[in-house]
Structure 1
Amino acid sequence: MSLLLMNGAALGSGTLVGLVLGLVGGGGSILAVPLLVYAVGIASPHVAIGTSALAVSVSAFGNLMAHWRAGHVKWRCALVFASAGVLGALGGASLAKAIDGQRLLALFGVLMIVVGLAMLRRRRADGDPSLRLSKENAGALLPPLLGTGFAVGLLSGFFGIGGGFLVVPGLMLATGMPLTFAIGSSLVAVTAFGAATAASYSASGLIDWTIASLFIGGGLVGGFGGIALGQKLSKRKRALSMLFAALVIVVGVYVTMRGIIALTVAA
């Protein structure tokens, strides 16, 4: 693939991910790695993962600002969760870099199938909106926040994804906060996990900065379009989410099969 085509595919892929994120919310970033490998043509799965992690972090930070202004971020809980998760993300990234790229892609495909199936389930929205981490409840909240944060960060760093689909239920499980606050607070962790993973891959020279810039630029454009389209299709939000979940499962099966075939041929 020529350089011009690769750059165009990176811009288009970023636009698609941004559109999906704006349209259906969290989870869209899981398409980044398959798009970078199969649409953009990045030969190394590790470079695709490092580049994706950077793009996910920047995208999450942009979305975080909007949720912060809306008052939907529980900062103390989010920062504790993210701090533990960054350690996990660095460990996960180091582990992933030591694994064969095609094996990593096959595992990523399996993860996509699991995520797609999880997306088919409705999330509970209830919880305590007044919840905040304090000296009085620290003994009860800190252990689950630290433990869950580390585990989610480990997976996030290993696969180079934001992990929002795990962070949101993790925060709700650990603290009992409502869905709206869990979504807003999760972006603190997603930003941090992506940045930690990207830093690890960057130190190993495993980020394509040009592709990352184009992908992020396309994501910003697609995000605005997705938000506008989502407002028009707000009554069909659940149907759109179900459709996207099915797409994630199908792509996951494809990525898994491609990875298994590549490993079989190599053997």
Structure 2
Amino acid sequence: MRALILLGLVGFAAQLVDGSLGMAYGVTSTTLLLAIGTNAAAASATVHLAEIGTTLVSGLSHWRFGNVDWKVVAKIGVPGAVGAFAGATFLSSLSTEVAAPVMSIILLVLGAYILVRFTALGLPRGNLGKPLRKRFLAPLGLLAGFVDSTGGGGWGPVGTPAILASGRLAPRKVIGSIDASEFLVAIAASIGFFVGLGSENINFSWVVVLLIGGVIAAPIAAWLVRHIPPRILGSSVGGIIVLTNARTLLRSDWIDASSSVQTVAYVIIAAIWAAAIAYSVREYRRDKANESVEGVESELRRKTGDTEEETASA
């Protein structure tokens, strides 16, 4: 019972992060399932089954708050579904001994990407309004869908930064569109896992608990996306993912590191993580202060202009 409650809280927290940041539900949930010894393919299958419900609710919630561009959803979602199905059948064919370290490596890379991306760069906001073309979105969707299935997560970490980097869509619409299109990816991946695994290796009680936690969090996250600082959240989540998957790799048969080596590695990762969060907080506060100064200067210029016009007319 305690494990189910924990999974429910993880589903809630993971969806809260995913709906606010446009990534990390699958990565966070799969990381936990791997940490407690779940088969790699079964972990990814469990998460994707839960995501059918969470992405549906999240997509509808983002749509209600005006965060979805349906043209982007169509252009990236269908290729994403194809890639997800291919990735699911590929992962299902790997042995457990090979699949777990492979998935941990993918998750570790994605976690590091999230950590570095949001700590160093935050969210790019230039070039808004320019169209996102199918020749860019289709290959991106295919790759992101494949990584999502084989890594137990990756649709958001691959798709969201790529679209944000283009600067052609408002950040909240990037997040909403990625969350909405993930519904197609989750369905395709789940079908792929059923084809490759069957249903006997999937714990459906875990699916339900993850789903309930995610569904509760989805509308809250869709509202928070307008207010939460993504830079700080990205640094925090990225660090958790890196630390957890580094632990899995260090304890795997591939590395089998001694306890002293593991301790040193954890201390180094924790120090980098703490520094990243501190830097993100500092940069966020500096950006807010600059915005306030710019706002005051703009207001002063406006008032000065109004005064000059009144003087001229007099």
User: TM-score w.r.t. structure 1 length?
Assistant: 0.78
Partners of 1:131 and 1:71 lie apart in 2 by: 18
Q: Which residue number in structure 2 is paired with residue 149 of structure 1?
A: 141
Residues 262 and 5 of structure 1: CA distance in aligned 2, closer, same or farther (over 3 Å): farther
- Sequence identity percentage: 17
The aligned length equals: 248
1:131 Cα deviation from its structure 2 partner: 3.6
Give 1:110's aligned amino acid.
I
Q: Which residue number in structure 1 is paired with residue 252 of structure 2?
A: 259
Give 2:153's aligned amino acid.
I
Alignment of 1:144-223 (within 5 A): 144-161=136-153, 163-172=155-164, 176-203=168-195, 204-205=198-199, 206-221=201-216
Is residue 35 of structure 1 aligned with residue 42 of structure 2?
Answer: no
Q: Which consecutive residues of structure 1, in runs of 5 or more, have no partner in the other structure?
A: 133-140
1:79 Cα deviation from its structure 2 partner: 0.8
8 Å CA contact 1:86, 1:192 repeated in 2? yes
Q: Which residue number in structure 2 is paired with residue 129 of structure 1?
A: 129
Residues 245 and 207 of structure 1: CA distance in aligned 2, closer, same or farther (over 3 Å): same
Alignment of 1:69-88 (within 5 A): 69-88=64-83
Q: What RMSD in Å do the two structures reach over aligned CA positions?
A: 3.1
Runs of 4+ in 1 over 6 A off after TM superposition: 224-228
Residues 21 and 7 of structure 1: CA distance in aligned 2, closer, same or farther (over 3 Å): same
- Secondary structure of the 1:215 match is helix
Comparing 94-103 and 156-165, the one that deviates more? 156-165
1:17 Cα deviation from its structure 2 partner: 2.5
User: TM-score w.r.t. structure 2 length?
Assistant: 0.68
1:253 Cα deviation from its structure 2 partner: 0.4
8 Å CA contact 1:103, 1:263 repeated in 2? no
Q: Which residue number in structure 2 is paired with residue 107 of structure 1?
A: 102
Residues 113 and 157 of structure 1: CA distance in aligned 2, closer, same or farther (over 3 Å): closer
Partners of 2:154 and 2:54 lie apart in 1 by: 10
1:35-62 Cα shifts (integer Å, max 9, x gaps): 22334x54x2221110011123322222
1:173 Cα deviation from its structure 2 partner: 5.9
1:63-114 Cα shifts (integer Å, max 9, x gaps): 2112212322221222121111111111111111111223222122222222
Residues 102 and 13 of structure 1: CA distance in aligned 2, closer, same or farther (over 3 Å): farther
Residues 115 and 91 of structure 1: CA distance in aligned 2, closer, same or farther (over 3 Å): same
1:162 Cα deviation from its structure 2 partner: 5.3
Q: Which consecutive residues of structure 2, in runs of 5 or more, have no partner in the other structure?
A: 258-314
Q: Which residue number in structure 2 is paired with residue 136 of structure 1?
A: none
- Secondary structure of the 1:124 match is coil
Give 1:31's aligned amino acid.
T
8 Å CA contact 1:53, 1:162 repeated in 2? no
Residues 223 and 66 of structure 1: CA distance in aligned 2, closer, same or farther (over 3 Å): closer
Partners of 2:140 and 2:17 lie apart in 1 by: 27
Residues 224 and 95 of structure 1: CA distance in aligned 2, closer, same or farther (over 3 Å): same
Q: Whose Rg is larger?
A: 2
